Structures are given as C-alpha cells and as structure tokens.
Structure 1
Amino acid sequence: MKFSTVLPLLISRAVIASAFPSSSKADCVGPVLCCGQLKTPFDPIVDPILLGLGVDAASIVGSIGLACHTYDKSSCTSAPQCCTEANLLGGTVALGCSDLA
C-alpha cells in the first residue's frame, strides 16, 4: 500500500475516534469534572454565552458542562464527566464533556 493511501486512512480513523466520548476515566485526557448540567452547544441559552467567549459552538465535540468543579465521589450527585476544555468563567462552563462509564 502506498504512503499516500495509508496516511489519509490513518488520519480519518483518528478523527472518527476523537468524535466519540470517553468511556472510562483511563480514556479521559481532559479533566474529570462534576457538572450540574450538560447541554448541547447549540442550546438557545448556552450558544450566546459561547459566542460572548469567542467559542464557535460548531467546533465543540460533546456537551457543554455548566456549574462544574473537580470530581469528588463523595460530593458529586451526577456521573463524572470528561471534558476536553474546562473551567471557562471560573468553572461555570466546560467544553467537550461526556459522561464517563
């Protein structure tokens, strides 16, 4: 197989794999957080906040975590979330979140 054929295949597999949420803490490369709510990037309340922060909602893979803090099993009432970018506005908004199994 030629290099020019293999490289695009490898890149496409990496892009597809990164579009799926993490399934365990070991797979999470971002911070593990406890968020009060998860919203979609295009939520009518969240989207204007993202625009105000200069974040394009279309570029976010995953959910938006609201009212997030460091995950502590004893104090978190929701499932832990893995977020690719966290603590915008002092923890008010975290980007690219998904529930961990």
Structure 2
Amino acid sequence: MAAFTVADGTDWLQTLVFGGPNDRWRLDDYDITMHVKRSGQAEVLIDANLDNGKLVIANAAGRRLEINVGWSDIFAAGPGPFVFDVYFVDRATDIRSRSGPHTITITPAITLPEA
C-alpha cells in the first residue's frame, strides 16, 4: 500500500510504477481506471481514467502510470483521508485485476490564491 498527500487546491501529480523489472506486460494493453472514495463509502469523489486524461501512460513497457488530477477535483473532494486502487481490464482477454489499496490524504490549504 502506498500513501500519498496533496494539499487542497493544488494538483495531484504522481507517477506509479507497476510490476517488477523483468515483467513483460505493458500498460497500453489495458483500460485503466481509478476511483478515489472515502473509506467505506460508495460515492466516487475523483474518477480518473485514460479517457479523461487524469491517468496518463508515461511509459507502457516500463509500466509507468501518471496521475494527473487538477486542483479543482482535489478542492471538490475536500480535506480528509481517502482510499483508491487502480483497476486494469486487459483489452484482448477482458481479464480484470487491480492494484492493492492505496491512500491519499488531502490536507487543508493555508495559502489560497486570490479570487
């Protein structure tokens, strides 16, 4: 499990690496989705996937996935602890898998931009 922290009102830019150095699978073989939720809640607060650009394959062979969630989505989720995992669907076989659970904490902002 990885734990991330981002300040309210800022962008969440993070790179995740999946698999080991000798793995041969590639990220571009998968549809990839990530839902950020409060623990135990069904409501999706941040919906990130390849189609909406909030997930970006930075290196398919190296299995490097970038999280690119803008400040407005972070602000809308609000401060607090959240959970997420990364969901993979193989485009050729329709086999589904997911990463382990991860956490993100959105901390309250101290300095806010001028309106």
TM-score, with structure 1 as normaliser: 0.23
Which one has a larger percent helix, Structure 1 or Structure 2?
1
Give the structure with the higher percent strand: 2
Which protein is bigger by CA-based radius of gyration?
A: 1
